[in-house]
Structure 1
Amino acid sequence: MQTFRTEIENPIVEKDIIDLANKIQLFNNGKIDEEKFRSLRLARGIYGQRQEGVQMIRIKLPYGKVKSNQLRRISDVSDEYSRGRLHITTRQDIQIHYVDIQRTPELWAQLDQDDITIREACGNTVRNVTASELAGVDVDEPFDVSPYADAIFRYFLRNPISQEMGRKFKVSFSSSDSDTGLSYMHDLGFIAKIENGERGFKVMIGGGLGSQPREADELYSFISTDKIIPLMEGVVRVFDRYGERKSRAKARLKFLIKDIGLDAFKALVDQEQKAIEFKSVAIDADAYVTSKPVEINEIPQVTIKDQKAFETWKSTNLIPQKQDGYVAIGIKVLLGDFYTDKARLLADLVENYAAGEIRLSLRQNIIIPFVKRELVPFFYTELEKLGFANVGYNKAVDITACPGTDTCNLGIASSTGIADELERVIKAEYPQYLEKDDLVIKISGCMNACGQHNMANIGFQGMSVRTPDKLVAPALQVLLGGGNLGDGKGVFADKVVKVPSKRGPEALRRILDDFETNANGKSFFDYYKVTGERYFYDLLNDLQDVTNLTQDDFIDWGTSEEYVKEIGIGECAGVVIDLIATLFYESEEKIENAKESFDNNVYSHAIYHAYSSMVNSAKALLIADNKRTNTHAGIISQFDELFVESGKLDLGTAFSELIYQINKNAPTKDFASKYIENANQFLAKVRAFREEESKLDQ
């Protein structure tokens, strides 16, 4: 067992960390299959990098809220275990890179000292719960969504129903009808509403980006706040059971809803209601610890050296706040990267002069809430010292980009390099765009859309092109016309042309020049609706020609080396290739987890662990028989057909009858006890059957 240098106060976290250390040791000793180990570490926020032998650690920060002490702790961890750089993601997380996996348990223990987790930041789990970055201060919000996002985060963290789904599950909360939480592109999105004086949410379901973006459906126009946790539990249970598991390309909730239809999906959720222990979960928003500004007795006096620069910054980076006398400050963080020396000074600044916290935004920026209006000049001078006074927060010049080929296994072309160049072009050639907030530019290094390129007005996706003589160069798919319409509606961008990466700036110039000349005051979104895909195809078509590439075209942005297309194994929601012995081992582990939950009187968790054990055990026999195991429901029906109905295995009843007791009974103590025993007996029977079959094969 590994010894940690700091004491872990939370026994649940301590068990998690010790378990991770033990699993790393088992993997090192060849006792755990590599693919299974990948699944395990991903669910603990540990993601393989493009560079061999090091990992990216994703730190889960619900709705992007980071207190000063937490920012200092993250900085300390980055300095000790990484390289002192922090990367803000489009899901309000912080990532640190180049970490030795052997040190990750110790790193986690350090983070826990300030109540920070990496649990379920990656993998086939409920990911970080995101929210409008202005939640709590938004002038348009009917109420603060932060307590509800926090409740969802806490309820589903370590919840057995969401540990090993077919793929990831993403949830967002929007403060108002502006839908700044982007509900239309989430598996489950909640938009704050008030009806008849009651707080609640409009619920959107089944949205997603990636290579096949899908706009979310409206599940409910309004549900009260006490219904959001039971609803999400039903949705996650159905996704876990019926969601695709074999084909990674079809394993998101959006494909399940598309295949069976929204009404059929709702019916499945209704069938789960008996299994859900709490039909109503009241969330006490008044008990939530909200941000409170510190008391300022004296306003520091400062001298502004460049008044014009200060006025421009105020026009682009100050955000109105609903609390009288306060504003929020937006910090434009280039590519979402900043360093620990600046982070610590920022933590001190907000602790002493604001509310002791920052918020991370969906556009990879930082927001400081609760700045007294009289302190704005002081904050400007302090932020200027830190290099955090760049103008253009959330404006056209503020380009979102994923890490791309810098560190990601899936990156095809550099997203950070081209983003840096495009920002330079806009600043130098289109200075008027420093203040435009109706033009959104986003870049992803591959089709998986971590940079959210296909929801942008102007998007770029990393690709490659092949010349007639079979040389490969980095390229960019240009996408146009996406946008957020508000209240759960959105439009995804059209794929217009594919150009060599070095022509990306020229493509942007042509688009902006045409827009400037012909839009007549329309927003880019509205202008594109009038002109359309064909118009811009004709405008950009000649840039697609790969017969006349120069040597420079074979060198991607941000590098001096010739381009080589290298795509590793995608891990963010990778499908696990399970070995039979590993599955049986897992089934035992799940039964132990069920017994532990039972002893702690958490019967709903105990039942789900037992359910997972039975599915695992059935899956083991199906894999041994070379059968596909696409979904939990498919595993159950196939097992009945191949082993029970054929008479190979006598369970005394159909396997489906045995296992589907889960959604026909309330999660009582008696049922939990009986169901755990069913799982134990089932594991013993399938294991004995497998041993007999193995003997016959010898």
Structure 2
Amino acid sequence: MQSFRTEIENPIVQKDIIELEAKIRQFHDGKLDEEKFRSLRLARGVYGQRQEGVQMIRIKLPYGKVKSKQLLRICDVSDEYSRGRLHITTRQDIQIHYVDLNRTPELWAELEKDDVTLREACGNTVRNVTASETAGIDVDEPFDVSPYAHALFEYFLRNPISQEMGRKFKVSFSSSDADTGLSYMHDLGFIAKIENGVRGFKVMLGGGLGSQPRHADELYSFLPTDKIIPLMDGVVRVFDRYGERKSRAKARMKFLLKDIGLDGFKELLEAEQKAVPVKTYPIHYESYPQVKVANIETPSVEVQNTKAFEQWKATNLVPQKQEGYVAIGIKVLLGDFYTDKARELARLVEKYAAGELRLSLRQNILIPYVKEELIPFFYVELEKLGFVEAGYNKALDITACPGTDTCNLGISSSTGIADELEKVIKAEYPQYINNPDVVIKISGCMNACGQHNMANIGFQGMSVRTKDKLVAPALQVLLGGGNLGNGQGRFADKVVKIPSKRGPQALRLILNDFEANGNGASFVDYYAEKGEHYFYDILKVLTDVDNLTPEDFIDWGTTEKYKKEIGIGECAGVVIDLIATLFFESQEKIENAEEAIKEQKWAASIYYSYTSMVNSAKALLTAENVKTNTHAGIIKDFDTTFVESEKIDFIGTFTELVLQLNKNEPTEVFAKSYLEDAKQVLAKLESFRQLELVADK
């Protein structure tokens, strides 16, 4: 493996990559526990794939914005280290697959040459900050949310308060009350508002999808823009301390809100305010890079198929608030496209538009700042690339996660059934190519990476067992979800479970009924009027598994008999409970705290010291088989188990010592004294552990 000490200019990035390289070596040499190594690589965008021996790499692209030169760099990396396929996710990232673990440091180094990062694209971190793909051009937006999304991304990248939480943390920004950033299903969602001439956001807290979707609570009806980063700093601190860590199924923000309620959360948030290093964080949107549109003479072109051109214009052009410009939507089937086409697209946008693309939450591509007179030219050029399929963000535009293609957690194929449903719509319901109202989404399992449970019509990968104990791929059909705007939404009801091969027939029954009886209503309203039992009666005929044919035991997109195989899920990260590893981590965090003090980053140093003390306490509690579900529980239980019983001598309590964190301002004096406390705690607890081991021999 190659060294990168002289290849990366940014010393912080260089340190990251060198550390990943070193950890890979330690892992191969048997010096690093597999679970610990998994946690570390996930936080660096390296995700285990369903296929053994290869990795999925997730490339973090804040709010889906990617410059032409960045896309070209990603293409080079994909060709060199992967197979030339790029996959757009529902969080506006790009994933590449089948990457050799040993080559991930050099892959990362190549990406960083054009300011593209893997850092915190996976793992128990603040994930990619998403936003409306029309941010900055939205005809209804009060202001461009891009500078605010970017500032938040930069603030939390490598921030010690958000590196090892119990689970991932997701944030979104919506340009307008249409809430196209889907704030109601995020841990924190921001909707742009202006009140009395002041920019700000409506703030939604504690939403989520998965097997138990939860609608976010309104935390603020209006919060000025300079308060959003201090707010999130406090929210993350509360989640880090009180959020579940042992049970991954209960470790999201939504479960913490469910347990303690919004008022209880606000009390904990208030208790953290002294520790938050910034009380106000002005975001200077005026300094955000200005758009530069190419000034070039309009080439003369002739459109061959005028009918197809008019259809494309009706569905794929997005109005833009800047006069004389439109945005062009590219429908990307299942979010997959290839580097040969991507390169041509990047060059086209660089030469004739603003040199940037937006990746959408529906796995598509938007080209902003296309001059109106260039529309025919772009159509002709995009047609050469196969990028002019009509139906951008319409019913035909189905969202699907990778499912059993590459994901460890996939239960049944999501891409295969998505492809089949698009064929059904094109052939039998062509009017839906123009219909923006019916939203169809598919996930390969309950974790909702395809966002199936917020769709009008959703499908979730499952399996079904016959009386003879034969297992076939299945789909849970969900109906009635939808985005209602301004932070309001509905989650879909689980209506029936059917064999996967009956998915197309289910869609036909649903659309046929809607066509016959909808009377111009939206699908969401029509479903609300009819209700779950009405649609259950329509679809019940498809649920019988006593009459399955051999074809029903073969999943979409494959020729082999179905076999339910679920690996270890990595999207949520893992819990490390090995005692020696925990003490090792505590020492690393103390070293990080010392480094932060040298850099005069007092708040960062304090948090490293805090996590070192909690880690050390967790090590001893683990040795006693005491549950270590939350940081707050660890602190309390350490007092009960070791201090009150006088097994370990403390002046005062461990709680008082550790929670100096939120009783003091993050000053230099406190950072240095708190670091000394952390060093003493580690030394005392390691000494206790060694005496225990000697006594056990």
TM-score category (smaller protein): over 0.9
Instruction: Give CA-to-partner distance per residue, 1:234-262, whole Å, 9 cap, x none.
Output: 00000000000001110000000110010
List aligned pairs for 1:95-106, cutoff 5 A.
Answer: 95-106=95-106
Instruction: Give CA-to-partner distance per residue, 1:600-629, whole Å, 9 cap, x none.
Output: 000000000000000000000000111110
Post-superposition offset of 1:80: 0.3
Which residue in 2 is equivalent to 1:219? 219
Which residue in 2 is equivalent to 1:156? 156
Q: Name the amino acid aligned to 2:612.
A: S
Corresponding position: 1:627 with 2:641: no
CA distance in 1, matches of 2:4, 2:503: 49
CA distance in 2, matches of 1:627, 1:4: 42
Post-superposition offset of 1:290: 3.1
Instruction: Give CA-to-partner distance per residue, 1:346-402, whole Å, 9 cap, x none.
Output: 000000000000000000000000000000000000000000000000000000000
Q: Name the amino acid aligned to 1:100.
A: D
Indicate if the aligned counterparts of 2:42 and 2:573 stay in contact, CA closer than 8 A.
no
- Report the count of equivalent residues: 697
Corresponding position: 1:28 with 2:28: yes
CA distance in 2, matches of 1:476, 1:321: 39
Which residue in 1 is equivalent to 2:234? 234
CA distance in 2, matches of 1:644, 1:81: 53
Q: Name the amino acid aligned to 1:66.
A: V
Indicate if the aligned counterparts of 1:6 and 1:110 stay in contact, CA closer than 8 A.
no
Corresponding position: 1:59 with 2:84: no
User: Which secondary structure does the structure 2 equivalent of 1:261 belong to?
Assistant: helix
CA distance in 1, matches of 2:221, 2:291: 30
Instruction: Give CA-to-partner distance per residue, 1:639-678, whole Å, 9 cap, x none.
Output: 0000001000012120000000000000000000000000
Which residue in 1 is equivalent to 2:247? 247
User: Which secondary structure does the structure 2 equivalent of 1:12 belong to?
Assistant: helix
Q: Name the amino acid aligned to 2:74.
A: I
User: Which secondary structure does the structure 1 equivalent of 2:498 belong to?
Assistant: strand
CA distance in 2, matches of 1:149, 1:25: 36
The normalised TM-score by structure 2 is 0.99
Which residue in 1 is equivalent to 2:663? 664
Unaligned stretches of 5+ in structure 2?
Answer: none
Which residue in 2 is equivalent to 1:646? 645
Q: Name the amino acid aligned to 1:49.
A: Q
Q: Name the amino acid aligned to 1:476.
A: L
Q: Name the amino acid aligned to 2:584.
A: Y
CA distance in 1, matches of 2:102, 2:621: 34
CA distance in 2, matches of 1:356, 1:99: 28
Instruction: Give CA-to-partner distance per residue, 1:246-301, whole Å, 9 cap, x none.
Output: 011100000001100101101111111111111000000000113221112x1101
Which residue in 2 is equivalent to 1:261? 261
Post-superposition offset of 1:574: 2.8
Which residue in 2 is equivalent to 1:210? 210
Which residue in 1 is equivalent to 2:686? 687
Which residue in 2 is equivalent to 1:175? 175
CA distance in 2, matches of 1:666, 1:263: 24
Distance change in 2, residues 1:81/1:5 (3 Å): farther
Q: Name the amino acid aligned to 1:379.
A: F
CA distance in 1, matches of 2:519, 2:347: 47
Which residue in 2 is equivalent to 1:534? 533
Post-superposition offset of 1:5: 9.8
Instruction: Give CA-to-partner distance per residue, 1:74-117, whole Å, 9 cap, x none.
Output: 00000000000000000000000000010000000000000000
Which residue in 2 is equivalent to 1:368? 367
Q: Name the amino acid aligned to 2:329.
A: G
Q: Name the amino acid aligned to 2:292.
A: K
Corresponding position: 1:637 with 2:636: yes
Q: Name the amino acid aligned to 1:584.
A: F
List aligned pairs for 1:249-328, cutoff 5 A.
Answer: 249-296=249-296, 298-328=297-327
List aligned pairs for 1:247-646, cutoff 5 A.
Answer: 247-296=247-296, 298-646=297-645
CA distance in 1, matches of 2:326, 2:557: 37
CA distance in 1, matches of 2:549, 2:632: 54
Post-superposition offset of 1:494: 0.3
Indicate if the aligned counterparts of 2:4 and 2:18 stay in contact, CA closer than 8 A.
no
Which residue in 1 is equivalent to 2:675? 676
CA distance in 2, matches of 1:403, 1:178: 28
Post-superposition offset of 1:576: 1.6
CA distance in 2, matches of 1:130, 1:290: 20
Q: How large is the Cα RMSD of the aligned pairs?
A: 0.8
Which residue in 2 is equivalent to 1:9? 9
User: Which secondary structure does the structure 1 equivalent of 2:274 belong to?
Assistant: helix
Q: Name the amino acid aligned to 1:467.
A: T
Indicate if the aligned counterparts of 1:35 and 1:578 stay in contact, CA closer than 8 A.
no
Which residue in 2 is equivalent to 1:122? 122
User: Which secondary structure does the structure 2 equivalent of 1:504 belong to?
Assistant: helix
User: Which secondary structure does the structure 2 equivalent of 1:95 belong to?
Assistant: strand
Q: Name the amino acid aligned to 1:181.
A: G
CA distance in 2, matches of 1:250, 1:290: 43
Post-superposition offset of 1:31: 1.0
Which stretches of structure 1, 4 residues or longer, exceed 3 Å deviation after superposition? none
Indicate if the aligned counterparts of 2:230 and 2:280 stay in contact, CA closer than 8 A.
yes
CA distance in 2, matches of 1:5, 1:686: 36
CA distance in 1, matches of 2:6, 2:105: 11
Instruction: Give CA-to-partner distance per residue, 1:40-62, whole Å, 9 cap, x none.
Output: 11000010000000000000000
CA distance in 1, matches of 2:611, 2:182: 32
User: Which secondary structure does the structure 2 equivalent of 1:274 belong to?
Assistant: coil
CA distance in 2, matches of 1:318, 1:301: 20
CA distance in 1, matches of 2:26, 2:580: 14
CA distance in 2, matches of 1:43, 1:2: 21
